[in-house]
Amino acid sequence: TPVSIERVINTPASGKRKLIMKWHILGAGAMGNLFATRLLQAGQDVSLILRLPKPDDYYQLHCLEGKARRTYSLPIQPASATETISQLLITTKAYDTEMALASVAGRLTPNATILLLQNGMGQHDRIQQHYPSVNLWAGVTTAGAWRPNPAELICVAAGETQIGPLNTPATELPVGWAAQIPTPTYMHTIQTALWRKLAINCAINPLTALHGCHNGALIEIPELYQQMQQICTEIDTLTRALGMTLFATDLIDQAANVAQATAGNRSSMLEDVTHGRSTEIEFITGYVCQQADQLGIDLPCNKALLSQVRALSAT
């Protein structure tokens, strides 16, 4: 595997040797913090990379998962640190990927492994073009977590994480990832998983951001459900034209299931709009519209949403 082993230690209890690898994480939001704690729990060595230097080398993070509360000391370092990076997990917003990676590009070892675990599509291709020598992986996760404040992480769903290679001949997960709890699933065709997540995000995120509603409203309010149905029908047409079968049933059935399962959630796009951040619309609906344009397929409903969310983000 394209994994550099930083340290090998003896675990006295079992007598077995345990691999300790160094992971750097770019993107210190809820997902970055969640995966940092999981890697620490699995005994791996982790540093969260922050844009700006902080006076301390650690920060305390209180994690609440069900009734279990645990406090972690998360090692942090600025992008300008000099430690080399052989394994990098990127959990930034899709639109921040290139800039964030550029800030540490000089620290990457010649055959570094990079794992992109983000919403949206399009950023993967750009990274592949600009960093052809890195071993690039991508993942999708249904894990759910949010941060009421910078010192606290609430884990709402352990979820499932699927990871697969984008440009490497690997046939299994890098060792440090396989050791994680819950163990991610290796997916040889990660593109399909990325498209599935993308299609669900297209169905749910823009509508919830525009209407300022929880995910559940999309199945409770008939007009919203109807709009979601139109979005899904268009995407079904596109994916069929691309020769992909994303789900065994129509996208609307899957989107409705996710809206129901996450009824009380505010989508990440609604959260972005609420907090005055840029949205990932260009990497979600924007990506889908771009793919459709290339095939000469019209997606009027998705195009309208793209313009509306763009206008919303600009205000």
Active site residues per annotation: 197
Asked if 285 is part of the footprint of ligand KPL (rule: CB under 6 A), the reply reads no
Task: Cite the DSSP H helix spans in 10-71.
Answer: 30-41
Residue 104: exposed, middle, or buried by beta-carbon count in 10 A (0-12, 13-18, 19+)? buried
In angstroms, the CA 119 to CA 91 distance is 9
Of 29 and 75, the one with the shorter C-beta distance to ligand KPL is: 29
**Beta-carbon contacts of residue 147 (< 8 Å; ≥ 6 apart):** 29, 30, 33, 153, 154
Q: How far is the CB of 96 from ligand KPL (least distance, A)?
A: 15
Binding segment (CB under 6 A) for ligand KPL, from list 26-34, 36-44, 74-82, 262-270? 262-270
Asked if 254 is part of the footprint of ligand KPL (rule: CB under 6 A), the reply reads no
Cross-strand bridge partners of residue 157? 144
From 88, 235, 258, 299, residue interacting with ligand KPL (rule: CB under 6 A): 258
Asked if 305 is part of the footprint of ligand KPL (rule: CB under 6 A), the reply reads no
Count of residues that bind ligand KPL according to CB under 6 A:
11
Site for ligand KPL in 185-214 (CB under 6 A): 200-201, 204-205
Asked if 262 is part of the footprint of ligand KPL (rule: CB under 6 A), the reply reads yes
Asked if 161 is part of the footprint of ligand KPL (rule: CB under 6 A), the reply reads no
**Beta-carbon contacts of residue 79 (< 8 Å; ≥ 6 apart):** 49, 50, 51, 100, 103, 104
Binding segment (CB under 6 A) for ligand KPL, from list 74-82, 99-107, 226-234, 258-266? 258-266
Asked if 119 is part of the footprint of ligand KPL (rule: CB under 6 A), the reply reads yes
In angstroms, the CA 136 to CA 165 distance is 6
Q: How far is the CB of 142 from ligand KPL (least distance, A)?
A: 7
The helix/strand/coil state of 211 is: helix
Binding segment (CB under 6 A) for ligand KPL, from list 9-17, 41-49, 69-77, 265-273? 265-273
Token couple for 83: 């430690």
Question: Are the beta carbons of 209 and 310 closer than 8 angstroms?
Answer: no
Of 262 and 285, the one with the shorter C-beta distance to ligand KPL is: 262
Buried-exposed string 238-271: b where 16+ CB fall within 10 A, e elsewhere: bbeeeeeebbeeebbebbbebbeebeebbbbbbb
Q: Is 159 left (phi over 0), alpha (psi -120 to 50) or beta?
A: left
Asked if 218 is part of the footprint of ligand KPL (rule: CB under 6 A), the reply reads no
Of 112 and 204, the one with the shorter C-beta distance to ligand KPL is: 204
Asked if 281 is part of the footprint of ligand KPL (rule: CB under 6 A), the reply reads no
Binding site residues, ligand KPL, CB under 6 A: 119, 200-201, 204-205, 215, 258, 262, 265, 267-268
